[in-house]
Amino acid sequence: MHEAEDWNAPFENVRPLDVLAIAAHPDDVEQTCGGTLLRAAETGYRTGILDLTAGDMGSRGTPELRIEESKTAARHLLAAWRHNLRWPDARLENTITARMTLAGVVRRLRPGVVILPYWTGRHPDHYRASEIGYEACFLAGLRRLEEDTPPHRPFKILYSSLYANVAPSFVVDISRQLEARMAALLSYTSQYGDSSEASDLFPSHAEVRERLASIARFYGNLIGVKYGEPFVVKETMQVDDIVNLPVRSI
Ligand SMILES: [Zn+2]
């Protein structure tokens, strides 16, 4: 874990990010794209996480506690920045205010890559976060949106598809990052308490580890590595060198 900068600083004072993951709830990125964020950070990129809600409808813990836990988790992932907008949990709405607020954040953080939840799913917050995130990234590129910030549109939008059961456009090898991602997720001690408190709703550590590792193993297998995280992009991926393509065909 490393010492991060002041995450409570106004958005204006945050140095631009290379990668920004936008998620509905604290602990979403830890389950879906945390290994990829960590790997990007290890490569030297500045990564950030923006959670839209603090999980105030959750039956365990308090929003304040979850935000504290999310900061611990972010340090496991070597994130340079994490913030929570504290929008209403389980009631996310794609309003003009939501889009404009998020567009303002994107203009200030200036990420080159934005990771969003996949655009369909069981939990309405996830697909709403995906939609609000996409539309905010579009709006952020409009010159006249705000007077005091220059326009910025991320170059790339990746949809984190781990829970979507769709064929990924690509998979990131997170074999060396899985343990740290697991530690990040288990930082949410109010959600993933010890096994004596385990119930159907709050599985034990062993259960969480097995479930996460199995899913990561499945996606890793698709590219011939141990553990992986899947992503979907809407545009076609370009190839320049057909002789040096990864992933064996036969
Ligand atoms: Zn969630």
Cα(14)–Cα(25) distance, integer angstroms: 22
- Ligand 1 centroid to residue 170 C-alpha, Å: 22
pLDDT at 5: 66
**Phi, psi torsion values for 201, nearest 5 degrees:** -80, -35
- pLDDT score at 36: 98
Going from the Cα of 28 to the center of ligand 1, the distance in angstroms, rounded, reads 5
Mean pLDDT score, 7-31 = 89
Assigned token pair, 49: 């996480």
51 CA distance to ligand 1 middle (Å): 10
The DSSP output letter for 57 is T
Ligand 1 centroid to Cα of residue 175, in Å, is 23
Give the pairing type, strands 19-23 and 47-53. parallel
Measured in Å, residue 87 CA sits from the centre of ligand 1 at 13
Please give the distance, rounded to the nearest whole angstrom, from the Cα atom of residue 93 to the centre of ligand 1.
Answer: 15
Q: Which two tokens stand for residue 170?
A: 């690509």
pLDDT tens digit sequence for 74-124: 999 999 999 999 999 999 999 999 999 999 999 999 999 999 999 999 999
Ligand 1 mean position, distance from CA 146 (Å):
30
* Banded pLDDT at 44 (limits 50, 70, 90): very high
How much is the CA Rg of the chain, to the nearest whole Å? 18
What mean pLDDT, rounded, does the chain reach? 93
Query: 240 alpha carbon to ligand 1 midpoint, in Å?
Result: 37
Global pTM value: 0.94
DSSP state of 56: T
Cβ atoms 228, 222 nearer than 8 A: yes
Q: Which CA distances in Å does 239 have to 14, 155, 209?
A: 34, 17, 36
User: Which SS3 state, helix, strand or coil, does residue 173 take?
Assistant: strand
| Nearest-angstrom CA–CA distance, 54 and 209 | 23
Per-residue pLDDT for 196 more than 80? no
213 CA → ligand 1 middle, Å: 18
Q: Residue 88 carries which DSSP code?
A: P
Containing 74, the helix (H) or strand (E) segment is: helix 63-76
Tell me how far apart the alpha carbons of residues 19 and 34 are, in angstroms, rounded to a whole number.
Answer: 12
How far does residue 15's CA lie from ligand 1's centre (Å)?
27
